[in-house]
Structures are given as structure tokens and as C-alpha cells.
Amino acid sequence: MKLKSIVVFCGASEGYDNTYREVAYELGSYLATNKIRLVYGGAKVGLMGALADGALQNGGEVIGVIPNFLETSEIANKNITELVRVETMHDRKIKMHELSDGIITLPGGWGTMDEMFEMLTWAQLGLHKKTSWAFKY
């Protein structure tokens, strides 16, 4: 199956090493170059911002999904293809799942782990058959 869109879960912070930011940018670039739409958390800062920049600067389509209460604190990215606003974190995960064919997880905090584990749990329960990847650098 050719992937049309990938959800990438990652942090809204930079991390402790510039390598994280570089890898996020490279992944965004890779997805765009291979005509795979990026679905992500909608922020313009941290690894999320680097990921979106990599896709956008290489002609990619980028859809961000952000809960209303995080729009200011995560500094919503207004320069992406589409910004979807939802009410709750759970709504965010459901929407990101609906918009994607596969899942990638980059470094992040508790929220990123929550997103990754929920997708893994849904797969274990047979709620989806998407391919999942997690990267550690």
C-alpha cells in the first residue's frame, strides 16, 4: 500500500540536542519529496515546527491538528496547508488518526508518549492496521 499521509507525533520543544531538530526537518523534507502528506500537532515551535518547515520548504502538504486551548501556548502554525481546530486532546488524536495512513513518533514528552501508546493500543485492539515507527536518536 502506498502511503498518502503520515501522522508524526513529536514535541513542541527543541530537545537537548540540535540533532533532534535536524532529524525532524529531514523527515518533513523526506515526506514532501515523496508526496506524502504530513499530519502533525499544528505548532510552529520545537520539533513540530522543524518538521512542518521541512515539509513546507520542499513543497509538501501539511495539516496541523490543535486543540483550541493549546492554540496560543503551542503557537499554532498559520503557514501550513490546513489548521484543524478541535476541542480536546482526545479529539486531536482521533482526528490525526482519521487523516493518516501510517504513524511515526519522534522524541517528545508525556503528550507524545500518550499519542504513541494510544495508537499502539488501538492497533493491538484491532482498531487500525496502520504501520507504526518510532525513532530514537
Helix (H, G, I), strand (E, B) or coil at 131: strand
pLDDT tens across 8-51, in order? 999 999 888 899 999 999 999 999 999 999 999 999 999 999 99
Which is higher by pLDDT, 135 or 87? 87
Task: Give the Cα separation of 20 and 120 in Å (integer).
Answer: 23
Please classify residue 107 by burial: count the beta carbons closer than 10 Å to its beta carbon, then call 0-12 exposed, 13-18 middle and 19+ buried.
Answer: buried
Domain extent, residue 126, equals 5-134
Q: pLDDT at position 14, please? A: 86
pLDDT tens across 45-94, in order? 999 999 999 999 999 999 999 999 988 776 899 999 999 999 999 999 99
Count, in order, helices (H) and strands (E) of the chain.
4, 6
CATH number, domain at 98?
A: 3.40.50.450
| Count of Cβ atoms closer than 10 Å to residue 1 Cβ | 8
Task: Give the Cα separation of 76 and 120 in Å (integer).
Answer: 26
Cell reading at 104: 511515526
Q: pLDDT at position 134, please? A: 54
Residue with cell 522524541: 107
- Total domain count for the chain? 1
